[in-house]
Amino acid sequence: MKRSLGPKTLPLPAPAWLVGTYDADGRPNLVTVAWGGVCSSEPPSIAISLRKSRHSYDAIVQRKAFTINVPAESHVRETDFAGIVSGRDVDKFAAAGLTPVKSELVDAPYVDEFPLVLECRLLQIIELGIHTQFVGEIVDVKADQAVLDPHGLPDAEKVRPIIYDTGTRNYFGIGQLLGKGFAVGKDLHKK
């Protein structure tokens, strides 16, 4: 029997992404987000949600761009750090020993050391309670060659992305492969 927990933000897992922006002074900044995910296939789009109090909020509104930086498990400390301090007070790239790279496609930086990056142009802003959702069109995906599969696509077992448990506030790595999508459940399909 299931126990009711009430209305809470407890999806499992949530991503642990670092969103890259330039602030009003042109300084590169990062913020860690867990509220995010793919929201459209055509155009390819991703959504993230931030509180208005975050330093990156105004940067996204003003620059109309952001990057999604997918850290590997080896960067869990840097990922956590980027969510603890404000870019108003700290140069997060320098403090975390990360390298900002200026995107050639959008007005936002990305993290050179992270294996997977999505460059996004702001499409829509949606006010949702205490958060604002930013929908960005993915204009390019950049991946380190070492994390690509034989078909040239990012391989989760090579990227080793960090996932976040919103209830316990713990970070995890991914687990073992369970099966191929659109194949493992085919035997349950009755004609």
Q: What is the CATH number of the domain that holds 140?
A: 2.30.110.10
Tally the domains of the chain: 1
pLDDT tens for 89-147 read 999 999 999 999 999 999 999 999 999 999 999 999 999 999 999 999 999 999 999 99
In a domain, residue 8? The reply is: no
What pLDDT, on the 0 to 100 scale, is given for residue 190?
Answer: 76
Say yes or no to pLDDT of 167 above 90: yes
In a domain, residue 72? The reply is: yes
In a domain, residue 6? The reply is: no
Say yes or no to pLDDT of 87 above 70: yes
Say yes or no to pLDDT of 60 above 80: yes
pLDDT tens for 34-58 read 999 999 999 999 999 999 999 999 9
In a domain, residue 4? The reply is: no
Overall average pLDDT of the 142-159 stretch? 98
Domain residues for 83?
Answer: 14-189
3-state secondary structure 27-65: CEEEEEECCEEEEECCCCEEEEEEECCCHHHHHHHHHCE
